[in-house]
Structures are given as structure tokens and as C-alpha cells.
């Protein structure tokens, strides 16, 4: 697949948001932010001025050999922040003291991009030793992945610190499931300081990437125990997916694009798919069954700039969830282990 670098950096009109240095309020379910530690846009301006360039180069190098990596890094960031806050806990390996998040059910044989973050961290350490946290690297890598795929710029503050622990149990309990009812997913979002609109907006990240067949296969053959396919799934999409994911266990790890219309391009086609009944995941298509969420889906399906602006806002909110600052965290030497 041949792609020019310039085609991936089309920035929408709301680029002016980048002039915002501080984002407020900060949703925090992990304690209040200590403003004395100067969590802000320019945090690394003097201590690591080449940080963004290093992260950009690392993400681009990975993308050249693996076009799926942009979606994988974005998902890794979401799964980190959604479990007890943005603290790079998802990057920690298991120890004798805890079972971490890497092997939790939503992440096992699914979450990807660890080696990309480790590589970027090594490059950052060479340029700025013991200065930049793994969580700030992951957060920035997610934004660069969105930009690289043609999505919007959004402002980020920096100065997050890495956490000291991780929890497999918390990941299993807190991360939304693709077969979970919409009301349960919404409740998980609201528990983090997010809202129903954020559910719809952040689900739009499924405009890029793939899903393994086992995450949606019941829609194709035995929807909710009926022995029949999901009646809301458009017939040609159903036939296509049944070909990708035959009704046998051997197909469980096969991949299908979350947005078949523009698999690697960050755009609003995901919402067009939902309106047309061709959403892949059960939790995605469920957004069309609730009047409140379906109205937002319909609006985004016809207005890509509205989606981009709202996605930028929701990603900034996500990146501030439950962060650690000051002595509440550390700057890990290596992202997979606590110092």
C-alpha cells in the first residue's frame, strides 16, 4: 500500500485549538492534580525540546512496516487511561507482587504496540535521560497516530508520571466489552467523568483498525441465542463477514476491518456505516438503537468537521483521566517495569 506522508497530515480548521496550553477541568478519579508540579503544554519545552519529533519519527517508522499500528497505539492509550487513569499501567509486565493489565481478557493476544513504545522510550532516554514518563510518550504517540491517519490535532498537557502498579482485575472489570449493553458501557464512561456524548465520539476511533472475529461472531450466526444472525446487520455486510469469519473456532483470531469503507483513514465513515446498518461490533451498532446516541451518530455521519472537533475535545478529556503528578508517580527507566 503506497501512501505519501503529506496525505496523512491534513489538519482540520480547528487547529487553532493547539494554542490552548492548559486544559480544564481535569477529570480525575485517581486523586486531585497537584498544580504545583506544573502540568502543562510546555512541560518539556526546555528539558526535552525534541520530544515530539522523536515520537513522530518512532510512530512513522512503525507505521511504514505495519499500517495497523496507528489504531493499535490509539487503543493502547485508551485501555491505559480507562483503567485507573493515564499512568502507563498497561505497559507493566507481571511481577511477584501483581498481575498486570497486559494479560487481562480485553488485552490478551489483542493489545499491540508495546515494542513501539519501548523503542521510542529508548530514543527519548538517549536524548533526554530520566526526563519523560512512559505515559506521556504513550499519550503523545496516540495523538501522532491519529494525525498520521488523517485525523485531527488535539491539545495535550504534559507532566504525567508513571504509576507503580497495575491490575488485571481492574482491567477486566473497567474496560468496556463489545458485547456489553450500551447502558453498561455508558455507566463505565460516566464513572470516569466522561458522558454519553464521549461514548459516541470515542467509539469513532473505530474508523481505523481491525477486530478479531470472536468479538463479533455471535452477530453472524447466533445472535443472543436465537440461532440466527443479528437482524440489524445489513445483508451484504453479513455475507461478507461470514466469509471472513466462518462459524468454526479456527476463525476466532481472523481479522475484519472495523470500518471497511476506509480502514486506514481517520474519517467519519464509521458513522455512515452505522446509519447504513453495517457497523461491525455489536456495541457500535447499538449506538443507532438509542434515540440520544443515534442523533449524534447521524450528525457525525453528515458532518466530518463536527466529528473531528468533538473527537479532539473528547481525546483531550481522556488524556487527563486520573493522572499522577509529582511524587505520586515516577519516570520509569523502562516502560515494562517500575524502577
How high is the pLDDT of residue 13? 35
Length of the chain: 339
222 assigned to a ligand binding site: no
195 assigned to a ligand binding site: no
pLDDT in tens, 225-265: 999 999 999 999 999 999 999 999 999 999 999 999 999 99
Residue 210 backbone dihedrals phi, psi, to 5 degrees: -130, 160
Kindly list the distances between the CA atom of residue 287 and the CA atoms of 74, 198, 224, 227, 299, in Å, as whole numbers in the listed order: 21, 12, 17, 23, 13
Question: Is the pLDDT reported for residue 175 higher than 60?
Answer: yes
How high is the pLDDT of residue 291? 96
251 assigned to a ligand binding site: no
Least confidently predicted of 10-14, 29-33, 141-145, 291-295: 10-14
Average pLDDT on 30-53 reads 76
Choose among 259, 266, 210: nearest CA to 237. 259
Active site residues: 79
Question: Is the pLDDT reported for residue 28 higher than 50?
Answer: no
Question: Is the pLDDT reported for residue 33 higher than 70?
Answer: no
326 assigned to a ligand binding site: no
89 assigned to a ligand binding site: yes
Q: Which three cell numbers stand for residue 225?
A: 441465542
Q: How confident is the model at residue 37 (pLDDT cuts 50, 70, 90)?
A: low
Average pLDDT on 97-121 reads 95
CB 47 within 8 A of CB 53: no
Distance between CA atoms of residues 319 and 6, nearest Å: 26
Residue 286 backbone dihedrals phi, psi, to 5 degrees: -60, -20
Instruction: State the DSSP code for 212.
Output: E
Distance between CA atoms of residues 294 and 203, nearest Å: 13
259 assigned to a ligand binding site: yes
Average predicted confidence (pLDDT) for the chain:
90
Question: Is the pLDDT reported for residue 12 higher than 90?
Answer: no
176 assigned to a ligand binding site: yes
Amino acid at each position: 500500500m503506497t501512501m505519501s506522508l503529506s496525505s496523512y497530515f491534513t489538519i482540520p480548521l480547528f487547529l487553532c485549538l493547539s494554542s490552548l496550553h492548559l486544559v480544564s477541568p481535569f477529570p480525575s478519579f485517581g486523586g486531585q492534580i497537584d498544580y504545583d508540579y506544573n502540568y502543562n503544554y510546555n512541560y518539556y519545552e526546555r528539558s526535552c525540546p525534541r520530544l515530539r519529533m522523536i515520537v513522530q519519527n518512532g510512530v512513522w517508522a512503525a507505521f511504514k512496516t505495519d499500517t495497523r499500528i496507528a489504531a493499535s497505539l490509539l487503543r493502547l492509550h485508551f485501555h491505559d487511561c480507562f483503567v485507573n487513569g493515564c499512568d502507563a499501567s498497561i505497559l507493566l509486565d507481571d511481577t511477584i507482587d501483581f498481575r498486570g493489565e497486559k494479560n487481562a481478557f480485553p488485552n490478551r493476544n489483542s493489545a499491540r504496540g508495546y515494542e513501539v513504545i519501548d523503542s521510542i522510550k529508548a530514543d527519548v532516554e538517549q536524548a533526554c535521560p530520566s526526563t519523560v514518563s512512559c505515559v506521556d510518550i504513550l499519550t503523545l504517540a496516540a495523538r501522532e497516530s491519529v494525525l498520521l491517519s488523517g485525523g485531527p490535532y488535539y491539545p495535550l498537557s504534559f507532566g504525567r508520571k508513571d504509576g507503580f502498579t497495575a491490575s488485571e482485575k481492574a482491567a477486566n472489570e473497567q474496560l468496556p466489552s463489545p458485547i456489553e449493553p450500551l447502558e453498561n458501557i455508558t455507566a463505565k464512561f460516566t464513572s470516569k467523568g466522561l458522558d454519553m456524548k464521549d461514548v459516541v465520539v470515542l467509539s469513532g476511533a473505530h474508523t481505523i483498525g481491525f477486530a478479531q472475529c470472536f468479538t463479533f461472531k455471535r452477530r453472524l450466526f447466533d445472535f443472543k441465542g436465537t440461532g440466527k444472525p443479528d437482524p440489524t446487520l445489513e445483508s451484504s455486510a453479513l455475507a461478507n463477514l461470514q466469509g471472513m469469519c466462518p462459524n468454526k473456532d479456527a476463525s476466532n483470531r481472523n481479522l475484519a476491518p472495523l470500518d471497511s469503507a476506509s480502514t486506514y483513514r481517520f474519517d467519519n465513515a464509521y458513522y455512515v456505516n452505522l446509519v447504513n446498518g453495517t457497523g461491525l461490533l455489536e456495541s457500535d451498532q447499538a449506538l443507532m438503537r438509542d434515540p440520544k446516541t443515534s442523533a449524534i451518530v447521524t450528525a457525525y455521519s453528515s458532518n466530518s468537521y463536527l466529528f473531528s472537533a468533538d473527537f479532539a475535545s473528547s481525546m483531550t478529556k481522556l488524556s487527563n483521566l486520573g493522572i499522577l503528578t509529582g511524587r505520586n508517580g515516577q519516570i520509569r527507566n523502562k516502560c515494562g517495569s517500575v524502577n
